[in-house]
Every structure is written in C-alpha cells, then in structure tokens.
Structure 1
Amino acid sequence: MSHDLVTPLRGFAAGLEDLAYRNEWGARTAYLTEDGIWTHGEVYDTAARAVSVLNRIGLRPGDRVLVVLPDGIGWVVAFLAAARAGCTVVPVNPELTSDDHAFMARDCDARLVITTPELVSRFGTRRCLTIGELMAGAADADRTAPVPTDVPLYVHYTSGTTGRPKGVVHPQGNPAAYYHSVGQALGVRADDVTLSVSKLFFTYGFCNALVFPLFSGSSAVLISGRPSPSTVGTLVARHRVSLLYAVPSWFGRVVAEGDPSQFYSVRAAVSGGERFPRDMTERAARFLGAPVLNQLGATEVGCAATMNTLDCDVPGTIGRAVPGYRVEVRDADRNPVADEVEGGLWVRGPALMSGYLNRREATAEVLVDGWLHTRDRVVRHADGTFTHVARADDLEMVGGITMSPMEVEDVLRSHHKVREVAVAAVPDHLGASRLRAFVVPEPGITRYGLDTELIALARANLAPYKVPRSVRFVDALPRTSTGKLRRFALREPNFSPKAAEDSNA
C-alpha cells in the first residue's frame, strides 16, 4: 500500500485522488451520512465535477472560499472542490453568530461563500452558493482537472476562548504530515470506521473525519448536528464504529447518560481539546471498554503535538511528542527547563501554521526560529510524557500569586455530587480577586450544604490561597462549540448562568 506525501505544488486534492486510485480504494466506503453511503471514488468524482460549477461563477485560483456548512457529504465535496480549483478553503462553524460570520468573511476577504439557504442573508452582497446548488450542478457537470498550486490549502479560525478568533493559515502539504505522524501513530487502518463528535470545521474534527479516513482508505460517520450520547451510541452500534473521537466534556456526558452496550465495537477512543484528568479518563475507558487516548493539539499545529497511543498510554497525561515532532518546555526567557518543572510548550515539526492571517505581529509572538509557542503550560516527566497544567490565559492571579485553577478543579471534582466544575478569580465588592468555584451538580442531588462540603474538601487538600471563597451552582459551564471552557466568561462581572445560586464561605 502506498502513502506517498502530497507534494505542495501538486496539490492536496489531486494527491489524495491519486492515492486512492493507486491503492484501489475507489469502491471502498468513505462516508456514512444522513443522505446515504459514499465511496471514495464517488467523493472524488463529485468534487472534480463540482469544480466546473465553481469555474462557471468566476472563481479563480488563489481565491478564498468560506465554507459555512454542517458536517455532511456536501462539506467534504465543497472542501475538495475548492482545493482542486486552486483556492484556499476557510471552513467556519455554521452555528456562530451573524456578527462572527460577517467578521470572518471580511477578515479572509472571501471571494465566495458556500453555505445553506438559511445563512445566505448573513453575507450581504458577497457572492454565495448554496450547497444544494453546488451538488445539483456537479451531478451533470464535466470533470475538471486539478489546478497545480502552492497557495495555502486552508485557514482555520481559532476557537475564540481568549477573544476575537484569528485565522490560522496552513500549507498544502500539512494534512499528509498529520496522517503520517498522528494518524499512523494512532494505528488508523483501512477497515476502521470513525465517528468524530468534534466537527469538520474544527482542527480536531478535520483530522479525525477527513484527513485520516481519506489518507487510509477507511470510512467515517458524519452527523450534521450536535449529537447526544444516545444518538452517538445508536450510530456506533449501527455502523460498528471502531474509532471514537470527542472532547473530555462529551466523554463525561456519555458516562453519565449513555448505554455502554452500544459501544462494544469501539477499539480505541481519542480525547482532545481540553485537559482530561486521570480519574475522568479511566472512568470513560471503563464505560467504553476501550482505552481513551488523550492528546494535546492546537489550531496552529493543525493536529496533535503530543499524544498517547495504544502502545504507550499513560492516563492523566497528554502523552509523548508526536513522531517527527520536537517538543520543549521553556521558561519565560525561552530556555529549556528540567523535568518536573512547569513551563511553556514549544513545538517544532513538519506541519505547523505558516502564520496568522493578516496578523504579522501576532505571528511573530508565537513563531520563533521555526518553533511554535502553543501558550500551554506543561510539565515534562522522566519517561518522556507530559502533563498539561493550564493554558497561559487560564492562569489566575490571587493575592499577587499566579496559580492554575485546574488543581483546585481536580480536588472539587472528586466529590461524588459534582459533575463538572470550573474555578475562576472574580472581583469582590472591593475589587479584590477571589476564587469562585462554578459547580454543575450531579442530577437529582440536594444542593443544600454542598457548598460547605466543597470548601471543606478544598481546605483539607490545598494551600489556603487556592481554596475558593465562594461556590456558585450552575446548570452548565460556558463552553465554545468545540467543548472548550470559556473561562474568561466566568470572570465577567455580568456572568449570569441559568439557575445560578451563590454561596459565600
């Protein structure tokens, strides 16, 4: 079986189709969707015909195409067709606000928007093509040869956990490197069936459900909406899913709400997107009857930088450096630190972003001499594994001391009545920062007295300055659509979650 790298000048889409042809994957199932089953050959043929539709409306090589679609075969065809036409694809979340969509279309200077009929009005006078029009036009169009190109393949916007999203630019050859490093280290096989809860328009889901299946000749299940644990369980059982990808908060939900008998076919699960403590990892693994492999990635890396694998899995860690990549832990002066010393994570490897779109200064802050600073705080251990401490923007300042709230969250989450918890420093009536725990209790429990129990638990296990001064009970924590905690939202004075109840210690 051949897995040659896709060369940049040759182009991503052309290289993928040639890879499928040489390995005789044309008749193999590529996607199981709500609209039916699509083979690898059908996917590439439809994309080649869809290029004719794009050409007819005046799209030219080098143009940027904003793809605002839910997961489905239309998303895959739109991405491959735009890439085959020599354009740069800009996939964004269709569930964002109209202001976010307008900002991204303007920021990337989109020449065309491919979207749903319901969202067309958001883009004003900008040229739009509905996914229905693209697919219908492709049905009776001629195949179009791929355009050789070295323009960036795609731009992914950051999730906006710290403010305005930034466009992250990736070259043509990066996805091949993702597969040859992360995909092969995970052991993705041609007979695997993937289901990624994380969506295609996010970095994590893009690798899981597009890159790995197309580079391995395997298949993926695509779901258009936000699936519940029950929905995922039904699809896993129906399609005998073998690889399951999600974020830690979703694995927490499936343990609480799901039916473990539906997940019998899963041979491995992968977690990414946020920190996954050891107790939660092991609980999810017991529920699934399969290892849950935690990894750490970033939009700027394009995939994972560190990962656990089936051959080397250390729950509670983010694993070792991905094959082919170098990872260092550095201090504020960019000097490497010793094992067991916390520092910033720096990554170097074959596939990093080329920069932030239209943000030269921001690029220079994180890309230095070929190394990328991910802004994660980590600790390296003697066995080569890393533990994630916090995002740099997740650190809290309390009484003049910088600390990670995740240590506090680990202690509070050990209480059997706590389902989720997040800790943030919020100003009191005098303007001084005080730690507050935002707690999602387990369903059906009595909240009375729980605040006192939690603060007592913290006092018994943490230094005094790490003990929350108050507890707020909430129905849900603020998260991005990728499942990442929006900690900055907790710090805002006007944060008012549904059914919030305050208790002060």
Structure 2
Amino acid sequence: MNLAAELAVRAARHGWRDRTAYLTKSARVSHGQVHDLAARAAQVLAGLGVGPGRRVLLALPDGPEWIITFLAAARLGAVPVLTNPALPAADHAHLVQECEVALIVAEEPLLSRFADRTTIEVGHLMARAATASVARAHPVRPDAPLYIQYTSGTTGRPAGVVHRHGDLAHHHRAVAAHMLRIRATDVSLSVSKLFFAYGFGNSLVYPLYTGSAAVLLADRPSPARIEELADRFAVTVLHAVPSALAHLTAEASPAAFDRVRVAVSAGEPLRPSLADRACRLLGAPVLDELGSTEAGGAFCAQTLAHAVPGTVGKALPGFRVEVRDARNRQVTTPGVEGDLWASGPTLMAGYLQQPARTADVLRDGWLRTGDRAALDEHGNVVHAGRADDLEMVGGITVSPLEIERVLDDHAAVRESAVAAVPDERGATKLRAFVVALDRSDHDVVARELLAEARQRLAPFKVPRSVEFVPALPRTATGKLQRFVLRTGRP
C-alpha cells in the first residue's frame, strides 16, 4: 500500500473527485485536484533527489499546498517532517540535522535559513507540478514510515515521533467514523494547525478519508475570524482548544454557528462550566477528546453516542486505556487517581534517536501518556491534568485543576490557572491567575473567588492571592505553560 495512492483511489471509487476538499479565503480545491497535483508534484520532488526513505521538511503555513506536498512526498515513499514555520532558525536547524533532511519545502522568506541544503519554494513547486508528468506510487508496507511529527515540548525538548502509512486509516475509523460520524457533506474548521497531531487529523486525515471539506487558515485565527469563517463556509464540525472556546463564548455571536452540528475540544481538560457555555453558543454538543503526538491523535474521547460531562469518555475503537498506580498496577476502583496508560495500533515505535526517553514511556506495547486520570463508576476517564502540572505546597501535592474548576464557575471569569509561586522568602504559595470576562471590579471578584474557594476546597488548596492578567501563557498549540506562571511573571 501507499497512503497517497490509496486516498486517490478512495476518492475516485466514492465519487468525491469533484467535491470540494479545501477552502481558503481565495480558493476552493477539489479532491481530484489535490490528488492529481500531488501525483505531479511527486515527479518534481523525485527530480530533486527525493525517494523512498528520504526526509522532506515541510516548513509551511496551512493551505492546500501543505496537503499536496505531504501527499507528493508520501507517494514517493519519502518521509515528510512536519514543523511549525514560525520556529526560530536554531530550532529548524536542529530538526534538519536530527532528521538528516534531504529537501526543505518552504515559502520564500524562510529559504535563506536553509542555504546549505537543497530547497524549493512552495509556489515554484506547485507551478512546476502543473506541467509535470504523474509519478508512480512507490509500494510500501503498512508499517513503513510515513511522517515525523514533533512533540510540543511542554516537558522538555521536542522529540520526533515517527508514524506509519497504516496509522491514518485507524484514526479515520476511530474519530471521523465512530466519534464524529463525518460525512462527505460536512465542512470542518480546525483551530489547531496541520503540523500538530490534533490539526493533522482534523484537516488532512478526516477530509481525505470521508470526502468532506476543510477550511484552511494560514494564520492563527481570532474569535472574530473563526466566527466569520464558520458563517461564510457553513462549518458543521468545529475543532478547537479550550482557550479558543473560552474566547469564542466571550466574544462571538451564536448566529454564525447555526450550522455547526458538533464541536471537539482537545489539548487541555475541558472544564464543565466552559463546556456548558460553548454548547449554548454553538447550539451543538462539544465533545472532549484526549490524545497525544505519540499516539498520532486521539485515543480516548466522548462521542456523539456517549458523552458524560466532566469526563473524556472511553477508549476509542482499536485503543485501550488503563489507570495505574505508582507500582504500575492497574487501578479499577472508581475515583482513585493514577497515571494514564494507552495502547493501540497507532502508537509510535519510539522517539527519533532517543532510546532512553523511548524506554521511559513505552513498555510492552503500552504508552505512559504523562496524564493523570481516574475512572468513574461506569468506566469513563476523568482527566486530572498532566503529571508535571501537579503543584507542591507545604510538602503537600495539589492538583491545580480542582481549584481552577471552582474559579471558572464564577460568572466574571473567562479562564483561570493556578500555580505555586515562591514568595519573597522563597516559600511557595498558591496563586490564581485569572482572565476576566468583563471589566468587573477586580478587587470584588478576587474576594468572591477566594470566599468560594474556602467554601468548596480544603484549606491547603485555597489560593493565597488572585492576580488578574490579560491572557494566560500558552504554547502554539494552545496548551498552558504552567512553568511560566510558576515564575510569578506571566
């Protein structure tokens, strides 16, 4: 099999070639155009020395050209390396060296940083592809490397994760078919970008496997931009992160989302209060999912058929999850928290050139996800945050998520985060960082928040202070950078 050839055949077999695959502010591209141009772009890449096993760095903003270049490399049996085009030059240089990249595809402004490597400007690639012949698809086994994707780096230097040609079909079955029931008539919009595992599934895997369409954005969309695009393109499936949903509920109008039938939240725990606000805004269910770069996407989620508020549902088809204690024993007692482990057909073989780090998270076909979780009485997974998010205060380990759920229930709070911050003597004290929904009197809101926390939480979990901030520090994927808050200078 070869993924690129398989998807092209699938589009023809199901009659999708003339259906719109991708929408941008200036173009509509059909499924047939995507696959035809990818087959021709592959011939151009082959002329530049790209072949089976060679690695091609994609340093591109989201757009049809991204999809076409990815499929072109895959058609040759080459391995695209997915990267954020906004990374610093030093980070790109590290990826190029670590992955032994043979070719870089980028826009003109970035090409100068790769002067010592073979490069091609993406517009030039597309222009040459328009008149090139069709490249033959290189046959590969399902377990052959397809692409390398880097982790977000929230717990250390980003690590390269290799995924295979056979992985994408599993994600389609688990998420697009089972969880979301995506059909050819759907139009998706993803806040997360293609170079992240979440965005890759949303904007490449699900549309190409279902014949549906996806809106692609080169930039990071504001709430107003999301609202405008959802209305203009009649979006039916919205993929977001909790921070984006928080801003939407504060700034957007429900009328723009009247054709949305389902939304997805990922990247961080979705607080019940925010889920309720988002459901009211969108007039549709908001499903929480949990995944990772190491798993290639979601492995556990609520679904249209089964969504218990306050949980991330159960393992998706093909996957298993377990909660384990500190001695690596499975925990089945409801409400008892432990480390979350996952297994399934799309787990990475390992981190690129990092065997020790691989051995730390992969054991006997199971992935230690780095998440903390418990099971409810029906076997649903209750996410308790990342293991490295736990705070130590006065010798006691505290989960900030429990505190943040209390703070987020206040009508004046858009979002909050709690961290242990050292005081002038070096003693750590819990501080709540709050983004307000409006211009309410901050002193009054702070007193109300602390009073509510004292009523609902154990004394050692009550923040000592509340600081109002315009925004919380986040990664490009929208994940909270709690380590920044711990400095006391967000």
- What is the TM-score with the length of structure 1 in the denominator? 0.94
2:163 partner letter: H
What is the match of residue 208 of structure 1?
A: 202
State the SS of the aligned residue for 2:484.
Answer: helix
Name the CA distance, whole Å, in 2 between partners of 1:29 and 1:419: 36
2:457 is the counterpart of 1:435: no
> Does 2:316 align with 1:322?
yes
Q: Are positions 1:136 and 2:136 aligned together?
A: no
Among candidates 49, 52, 60, match of residue 61 of structure 1: 52
Cα shift at 1:251: 0.8
State which of 157, 161, 165 in structure 1 corresponds to 2:158: 165
Q: Could you list the runs of 5+ residues in structure 1 that have no partner in the other structure?
A: 1-9, 498-505
SS of match in other structure, 1:153:
strand
1:16 paired with 2:7, answer yes
The 5 A counterparts of 1:81-480 are 81-150=72-141, 151-185=144-178, 186-337=180-331, 338-480=333-475
Contact 1:171–1:354, Cα closer than 8 Å, also in 2: no
> 1:182-234 deviations in whole A, cap 9, x for unaligned?
21112111111111111111100110111011011111111111112222222
- Whether the 8 Å CA contact 1:13–1:83 is kept in 2: the answer is yes
Q: Work out whether residues 250 and 437 of structure 2, in 8 Å CA contact, stay in contact via their aligned partners in 1.
A: no
After TM superposition, give the deviation of residue 95 of structure 1 in Å.
2.0
> What CA distance in whole angstroms lies between the structure 2 residues aligned with 1:429 and 1:235?
48
Deviation by residue 1:259-287 (Cα, 9 ceiling, x = unmatched):
11010111111111110011110110011
Distance 1:126 1:431 in 2: 49
* 1:38 to partner: Cα distance: 1.0
Deviations 1:385-412 (A, max 9, x none): 1111010111111111112101111111
Q: d(CA) in 2 for partners of 1:37 and 1:346?
A: 41
Q: Which amino acid aligns with 1:78?
A: T
Residue 41 in 1 paired to residue 41 in 2?
no
Q: What per-residue deviation string (whole Å, max 9, x for no partner) do you get for residues 227-261 of structure 1? A: 12222222222221111110011011111111110
- Structure 1 partner of 2:483: 488
Given that 1:67 and 1:113 are in contact with CA atoms closer than 8 Å, whether structure 2 keeps it comes out as yes
Could you tell me how far 1:450 is from its partner in structure 2?
3.4
Unaligned runs of 5+ in 2: none
Aligned residue for 1:279, secondary structure, equals helix
Question: How many residues are aligned here?
Answer: 486
Aligned partners of 1:381 and 1:19: how far apart in 2?
A: 40
Amino acid in the other structure paired with 2:380: T
Task: Name the SS of the counterpart of 2:51 in structure 1.
Answer: coil
Shift of 1:180: 1.2
Deviation larger for 100-109 or 21-30 = 100-109
**Mapped partners of 1:50, 1:261: distance in 2:** 41
Residue 28 of structure 1 aligns with an amino acid whose one-letter code is R
- Report Cα offsets for 1:352-401 as digits up to 9, x if no partner: 11111111111111110001110100111122211110101111111111
Q: 2: distance between equivalents of 1:121 and 1:490?
A: 36
What fraction of aligned residue pairs are identical, expressed as a percent?
52
Q: Tell me the amino acid that sits aligned with residue 485 of structure 2.
A: L
| 1:129 shift after superposition | 1.3
SS at match of 1:293: strand
CA contact (8 A) 1:279 1:316 kept: no
Find the aligned partners of 2:4 and 2:90 in 1 and give their Cα distance. Answer: 31
Q: CA RMSD in A?
A: 1.4
Distance, in Å, in 2 between the alignment partners of 1:471 and 1:284 is 25
Give the ranges of 4+ consecutive aligned residues of structure 1 lying more than 6 Å apart after TM superposition. Answer: none
- Higher mean C-alpha displacement, 31-40 vs 284-293: 31-40
